Every structure is written in C-alpha cells, then in structure tokens.
C-alpha cells in the first residue's frame, strides 16, 4: 500500500519536472531610446543639487522677499559676480537668495565686504541641516 502511494506521488512529480524543462520565461530585448537633452538636464540638476546642499559651509544671504524679486536679484547677482554660485531657497512664507559656499567663517566675511557695497542688507549665515 505504501509503495503504491509513493508511486502515485513520484510519477506526477517526475512528469512535472520534465515538462518544466521545456518551459521558457519571456525572452525579449529592451531598447531604450533616450533623448540627449535628458542627459544634459540631468547634469544640470546634479550641479544645482550640489550647490544647494546644506552642510557645514557658510553662505551669504543677499535678499529676502517675494519670488519675482528674488529671481531678478539672483539674475543681476550672477551677472555682476560671476565667481559666486547662488540659489533661491523657499522658507515659508518668503524666498531667500543665498550665495557662495564658504568653508570658513573668515573666508565668508572676507567675501561679504564687497557684496555689502551693492547689497546693503547682505549678511552671513550658516544654514542648519
């Protein structure tokens, strides 16, 4: 009786194993066509993200206010001071224009002096994480 039970289990198991050898998964090749502008956009985004990172560096805030004036301020700043990077940060309910990325406070204060001539309200900040 036991032998008969084992045969009943063994035969279907072997048949399923042999049938399984003939089964194949979906085989297809995927070709992705990517617009070259996408890679350029991705590189720009990486560059912007690198300048936005909040870390142990000091920055100079040159403007606080609405979005349109912030955009104009940043645009004129980048035209006048090409050596500095700048970004607009939203902090409810105002927009802030932060420039520079200085490792030491002395370096930031040294760069704050020429910026104070054009932007009287500019001051030094150390952003929190």
Query: Quick one: pLDDT at residue 96?
Result: 94
Is residue 128 in some structural domain?
yes
**10-35 confidence digits (pLDDT tens):** 777 777 776 666 666 667 788 888 88
Q: Which pLDDT tens digit goes with each residue over 60-119?
A: 999 999 999 999 999 999 999 888 889 999 888 899 999 998 888 999 999 999 999 999
What's the CATH number where 122 sits? 3.30.70.1070
Q: Is residue 111 part of a domain?
A: yes
CB distance 58 to 126 below 8 Å: yes
Looking at the domain assignment, is residue 29 inside a domain?
Answer: no
Q: Is 101 exposed, middle or buried (0-12, 13-18, 19+ CB in 10 A)?
A: buried
What does the pLDDT look like over 81-95, one tens digit per residue? 888 889 999 888 899
| pTM, to two decimals | 0.56
Identify the domain containing residue 62 by its residue range. 57-129
| Residue 33, in any domain of the structure | no
Polymer length of the chain = 129
Domain count, the chain: 1
In the prediction, which pLDDT does 98 show?
A: 93
């Amino acid at each position: 009786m036991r032998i008969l039970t084992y045969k009943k289990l063994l035969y279907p198991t072997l048949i399923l194993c042999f049938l399984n050898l003939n089964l194949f998964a979906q085989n297809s090749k995927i070709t992705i066509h990517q617009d070259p502008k996408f890679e350029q956009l991705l590189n720009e985004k990486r560059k912007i993200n690198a300048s936005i990172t909040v870390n142990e560096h000091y920055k100079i805030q040159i403007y606080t206010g609405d979005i349109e004036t912030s955009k104009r301020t940043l645009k004129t700043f980048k035209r006048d001071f090409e050596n500095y990077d700048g970004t607009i940060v939203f902090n409810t309910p105002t927009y802030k224009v932060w420039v520079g990325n200085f490792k030491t406070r002395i370096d930031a204060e040294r760069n704050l002096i020429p910026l104070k001539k054009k932007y009287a309200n500019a001051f030094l900040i150390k952003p929190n994480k």
